[in-house]
Amino acid sequence: MRFAKSQERKMGKPETAQVVKPRGPQKSPISKIWIIVLAFVLCGGLLFEILKLFF
């Protein structure tokens, strides 16, 4: 019993005993400007090819 208690102290409290704080919405690691730039790079070539067909 003493060994089990000492091991439990070393490992910490079980997850069920810990209080989990509610988090707000997570922030994206990439800013919106970079997402727009990436979308333009990926889809911009297609847009220019379509415009080139008409002109």
Cα separation, 54 vs 52, in Å, equals 5
Q: For the chain, which residues make up each domain, given as ranges?
A: 30-55
* Residue 40 DSSP one-character state: H
Query: pLDDT digits over 2-47, tens only?
Result: 898 888 888 876 666 556 677 778 888 889 999 999 999 989 888 8
Cα separation, 46 vs 53, in Å, equals 11
pTM above 0.85, yes or no: no
Specify the 3-state DSSP secondary structure of 44.
Answer: helix
pLDDT of residue 32: 93
Read off the amino acid at residue 16: T
